[in-house]
Every structure is written in structure tokens, then in C-alpha cells.
Copies of this chain bind each other. A is one copy, B any other.
């Protein structure tokens, strides 16, 4: 059988990795796929740099539409990043009847519904294992490995930059700004790190996983997103003393809302989260990724590995290329649906607003050291029906004031917010209450 022909859009880090791994392991890959997979055309902004990567045998062009519109190309690999141009290119490739492989989580989190509908209509595949957790085959696990299950929740460390920063903050007792600067010098954080540190990148990935897990459309606009830039070194320290680690978790799970409008809903949220130190996922350190899935038949399962980087991401891109190659010519109905569920079998279960989520909380209240302040705090929580799991009292170093740390049982977010408002009105309370969510992940 003739090799399948691949056109690459973008010859940056992942593009070069994809080319190199395909070259180095071509025998291994062909022995598996039963057919050669050849990159025959590359579009790149920097032509000389691209030529240095792919050598003489591959056509290098500046215009990505030349790849997308080339009738000789069977599969387009989109590695450009961003939203608008990739959207146009991917839709054009689909319109031309080409299969697409992409690592672009932003594109799919925002325009996935449109793109998957177009692909469905045209009978082609858009594959995106590389969009979530790099080389860890988590999309395949969720979409194919766990098909027997009603999935209950997905919780993941899905951004390497923030996990690296949090690991360093904890191990070395440093503050956020110092570690961010180091991470930038080491290449673990970008010059403009906003998307990573503010949780946007994690939310893109989580949005995709939520769709696959629950059979809902991608709904990035409904995601709650809170990053790690406000996190203080002392909260990491106090958490550790209480037996917890703080991780930036993306969490999506089924929930029940209250009241007469109550019913099934889906939580979709990214935020710093306390996790018991004894959990496997709490021990995922450095730039590594891990995704913990809870499902009714299989129980808990966890998937761990490198979430980014040239060859780990290339590993996922090429796995998609092999899958697409195998099924390039079959009836589209025989392929795995893009979002795990058949397109006419999606549900419209709503994403719930944050006020309606249920979780536990870490509260740090900075107070004047005076009689009765603990009684006032605990009274407010008791009146709100919120139970307390643990209390810690610490002198942060100024010899006059105190940090009081409280861990609560599960409650609705709106309840804790109302209680915090009352706490902040107490005369002994000096500043805003620090509130970090806590998940036992049991």
C-alpha cells in the first residue's frame, strides 16, 4: 500500500518533534500501522528554519493554504496555535475532504462544536490526542477505554508550567513571583505566562475532557477559571502542615443542583486545590501531568506522563496519524465519534454556576490576637450549617496578629461565600479571607 501523505502546518517545537520521531521510528511505526506515513509538505513562517528541520525531500511553503488545498495531501496536521487562522485552515481542510490532526486545545475548546460538525458532515476525522496532557493517551482512555462506564468525574493536573511552579514553591518555600522568574529562565514558563498561570490553558483542556466524559458540547465560556498567581507561600506551608498539597486542578463532574429548578448538572472549574498528600495525584511533581478519572464500573484510574514538550506531544500527534491512517477509508460510522458519543446522542445537561458547586474549603483568616475571635468565626460557620474538619492557628511572624486556618466539610460555594462575608465584617479580622477549595478525591 502507498504511504499516506501528510501536510504539516507549523514547523516549531512540536512540528520538528513530529517530523523527527516519524523519521527515527519510521520502521517501528510502519510495522504497526501497516502503511508508511510520510510528511511531504510543510508550511512555516520561517522557511529556512523549516528546511533545516525537514531536509531536502519535503516541500516547504510559506502559505498554509497551499498545504490545505493540495489534492495530494491526505491528512493535515495543524500545529500553529491560536484561534482564527487555525480555524479557517482546519475548516478548509475538512471542506477539501482531508482528515485533520491537531494539538490545538484553544481552537477546540472554542470552536470544537463547529469543527466537529463540519467534519461529521464531510465524513472526515479531526483527531486531537495531543491537545490534552501531551503524550499521555488520556483522550483515547476516556473515549475508548472507558466506554462501559458512566463517568462521574475527571480531575487533572493538566498544565506543566503551573505544576512546576507549585512544586518549587512548596519544596523551596519560595513565593510565586520568584519561582515564576526561575521557571521563565529555565524555559518552563513563557515570556508571557498568562495563559498558563491564570489557568486558561488548563481550562481549554478540561473543556475538551468534559465534553468527552459526559457527552456534552464543548463550553469553554461556561468554565470557571482561577489561576495560581495569587497563591501565597504560607498557604502552601499551612496546607502541608495539615496533610495537604496545593495543585492547580481542572475538575469536571456530575452534580445535583438544589431547589425547584434543581437537577443534574456538570461542574467545570479550574482552580488551586488542596489534595490530601497521601493521594497518588498529590505526588505528581514538576512539569508532569496526571488525570484522575472516577467512573462507575472501573472505579478510580489515573494516567500520568509528560504533558508538553516536543517529542511527548509528537507522540500523541503520530498516534493520531496512525489511527486516522488505519480508518481513513472506512465508513465514518465505524470510527470513534469525535466527542466519544454519537453526534446525535449528545445531552444538554447544563454547566452549573460556581455558586452551586459543592466542595470543601481551606479558609485562612488573618486576625488580631484577641479573646473570642475563634468563637466568633466558628459561630458564623455553625450558623451557616458548615462543619469544621480541622483548625490550625499560626503566627505568621509579625508577633501581634494570627493566621487562623479552618478546613470545612463539603458545602455549597454560595454558603461559604455568605459566611466569608460575615467573617470579614468581624472587628478582629484584618484583611480579606483567603479561600482555597479542597478535594479529598476519595
Interface residues of chain A, those whose CB is within 8 Å of chain B, are 17, 21-22, 24-25, 28-34, 129, 134-137, 140-141, 144-150, 215, 280, 283-284, 295-306, 311-312, 314-319, 322-323, 326-327, 329-331, 333-337, 340-342, 345
Closest 10 A-B residue pairs measured CB to CB? A137-B145, A301-B305, A148-B318, A135-B298, A31-B345, A298-B315, A297-B315, A302-B304, A297-B311, A147-B322
Known: A148-B25, A322-B148. A302 touches B300 (CB 8 A): no
A148 touches which one: B136, B302, B314, B333 (CB < 8 A)? B314
Contacts of A317 in B (CB 8 A): 148
23 cross-chain CB contacts under 8 A = A25-B150, A31-B342, A32-B340, A32-B341, A134-B298, A136-B301, A137-B144, A137-B145, A137-B146, A137-B301, A140-B144, A147-B319, A148-B317, A148-B318, A148-B322, A280-B304, A296-B311, A297-B314, A298-B312, A299-B305, A299-B311, A301-B306, A302-B305
Per the bound structure, the CA–CA distance linking A182 and B28 in Å amounts to: 47
Q: Is A25 touching B322 in the complex (CB atoms < 8 A)?
A: no
Q: Is A147 touching B298 in the complex (CB atoms < 8 A)?
A: no
Contacts of A327 in B (CB 8 A): 330, 334
Per the bound structure, the CA–CA distance linking A303 and B319 in Å amounts to: 17
Contacts of A149 in B (CB 8 A): 21, 25, 28, 315
Contacts of A306 in B (CB 8 A): 298-301
Q: Is B280 touching A147 in the complex (CB atoms < 8 A)?
A: no
Contacts of A345 in B (CB 8 A): 30-32, 34
Per the bound structure, the CA–CA distance linking A33 and B147 in Å amounts to: 8
Chain B CB within 10 A, most for which of A32, A297, A301, A337: A297
A124 CB to nearest B CB, Å: 16
Identical chains bound together, number: 2
Per the bound structure, the CA–CA distance linking A122 and B319 in Å amounts to: 27
Known: A148-B21, A280-B283, A301-B304. A315 touches B342 (CB 8 A): no
Contacts of A22 in B (CB 8 A): 148
Known: A283-B283, A342-B32, A345-B31. A297 touches B25 (CB 8 A): yes
A304 touches which one: B34, B304, B333, B334 (CB < 8 A)? B304
Per the bound structure, the CA–CA distance linking A215 and B300 in Å amounts to: 30
Nearest B residue to A303 by beta-carbon distance? B303
Per the bound structure, the CA–CA distance linking A102 and B315 in Å amounts to: 29
Per the bound structure, the CA–CA distance linking A147 and B323 in Å amounts to: 9
A38 CB to nearest B CB, Å: 14
A420 CB to nearest B CB, Å: 35
Contacts of A299 in B (CB 8 A): 135, 305-306, 311-312
Contacts of A33 in B (CB 8 A): 147
Q: Is A337 touching B32 in the complex (CB atoms < 8 A)?
A: yes
Contacts of A326 in B (CB 8 A): 334-336
Nearest B residue to A151 by beta-carbon distance? B28
Contacts of A335 in B (CB 8 A): 326
Nearest B residue to A326 by beta-carbon distance? B334
A6 CB to nearest B CB, Å: 13
Per the bound structure, the CA–CA distance linking A301 and B133 in Å amounts to: 11
Per the bound structure, the CA–CA distance linking A383 and B301 in Å amounts to: 47
Nearest B residue to A341 by beta-carbon distance? B31
Known: A25-B297, A137-B301, A141-B141. 18 other contacts (CB 8 A): A25-B296, A29-B147, A30-B345, A31-B215, A31-B342, A32-B215, A32-B345, A34-B333, A34-B342, A129-B145, A135-B301, A283-B283, A298-B311, A299-B311, A300-B306, A301-B305, A327-B334, A330-B331
Per the bound structure, the CA–CA distance linking A225 and B148 in Å amounts to: 33
Contacts of A148 in B (CB 8 A): 21-22, 25, 29, 314-319, 322
Per the bound structure, the CA–CA distance linking A172 and B314 in Å amounts to: 45
Per the bound structure, the CA–CA distance linking A215 and B29 in Å amounts to: 11
Known: A319-B146, A334-B326. A305 touches B297 (CB 8 A): no
